[in-house]
Structure 1
Amino acid sequence: MPEANDSVKAEALTDLILTMFRANNLTLAWGDRLVSPLGLTSARWQILGAIVQAGRPQPVAWLARDLGANRQNVQRIINDLKSDGLVSLEPNPHHKRAQLVVLTPKGQQAYEGALELYNPLVATLADGLSPHDIAAAQRVLTTLRARLEAASTGE
């Protein structure tokens, strides 16, 4: 009987993954509309957030790792942010070529502006969802992410 149970779980997870893909696409489009008045995209906003979350200057490769993203894509976005004066690159005392990404005052202002737009809208999105359900979804997605990360590294 374990095979039938495994099949049910696999089908349910497939449904979740398909829903996650759709939700991700809708979230990115929603985010693009939200931050476009600030001259940002969801991708740029996400990078600014990763810089803030890091709490200290990091090389591009570390930011990409934290985001679970491709380093080259993150580098391209960092280059765009630098051109727009939202980040700067500073020397890394531990590595000559891997410069540290630093939020400029203009970048900090853009990030804070995005949060001001986001906070009231996320409260609306959360309406009717229980903290318990949100935490359960977070646990499932965190487990799925960890398993996918392990699979991608061959662990």
Structure 2
Amino acid sequence: MSGVERTEPDHLAGPLLYEVIRSLWPLHRTIVRAVERELVGTGMTAGQHAVMDELRRAGPRTVPQLARLLGLDRQPVQRLVNDATALGLAESTPNPEHRRSRLIRLTPEGEATIRGIQEAEEAELRRRLSDLSAGDVMTALHVLRRLGEEFRDLAQDAPPHPADRGEDAP
């Protein structure tokens, strides 16, 4: 046998990681649809919810900072911020660190709105997923964060996609 003896769980890690990755896209779409259903009547979209969640979690940010936190391009985030601003949920304020790049922050109405939505969402998650322990959730977070780190590195090392250069994909 080689110098490193592999246990069965380690041997299965590769195929299991593929299963995690395969599960992410449909899971993401399902979560977005569920969030959109919960937002009916609020005038908000799932994208605005994500922006408001980041602002509530991390405090005032510039649009480029929000885009980096959300893993999105700046332009769609700017549209989401504009829409949230039009609803009175967010506002643009002077940035003491940069004259031209304004800070986006939640309004008191935006703070109350996202807090109420998140409290209801958390209660629903606790009710539906009561069979998961805090340890289970911490393990899931660890795996997802590690995948995120590695795929961010892979995405940065990859050559630009033809669409990113204004070309048609093959």
TM-score by length of 1: 0.86
Which residue of 45, 48, 69 corresponds with 1:44? Answer: 48
Does residue 123 in structure 1 map to residue 89 in structure 2? Answer: no
70-79 or 11-20: which moved more? 11-20
Deviation readout 1:82-133 (Å, 9 max, x if unpaired): 1111111112222232110011112112112212321221112321112222
CA distance in 1, matches of 2:131, 2:153: 34
Moved >6 Å (runs of 4+): none
Indicate the RMSD between aligned Cα atoms, in angstroms. 2.4
Query: Which residue of structure 2 lines up, in the alignment, with residue 94 of structure 1?
Result: 97
Pair member with larger Rg: 2
Q: Read off the aligned partner of 1:122 and give its amino acid letter.
A: L
Q: Which amino acid aligns with 1:118?
A: E
Confirm whether residue 24 of structure 1 aligns to residue 28 of structure 2.
yes
Stretches of structure 1 lacking an aligned partner (at least 5 in a row): none
- Say which structure is richer in strand: 1
1:61 corresponds in structure 2 to 64
Flag structure 2 segments of 5+ consecutive residues without an equivalent. 159-170
The answer to whether the aligner puts 1:152 opposite 2:155 as a matched pair is yes
Offset of residue 153 of structure 1: 2.6
The higher relative CO (CA closer than 8 Å, separation ≥ 6) is in: 1
Structure-1 separation of matches of 2:121 and 2:62: 27
Which of the two has greater helix per residue? 1
Letter in 2 for 1:126: L
Any conservation in 2 of the 1:34–1:117 contact (CA below 8 Å)?
Answer: no
Q: Percent same amino acid at aligned positions?
A: 28
Give the match for residue 167 of structure 2.
Answer: none
> TM-score w.r.t. structure 2 length?
0.79
Moved more, 12-21 or 141-150: 12-21
The whole-number CA distance in structure 2 between the counterparts of 1:90 and 1:131 is: 38
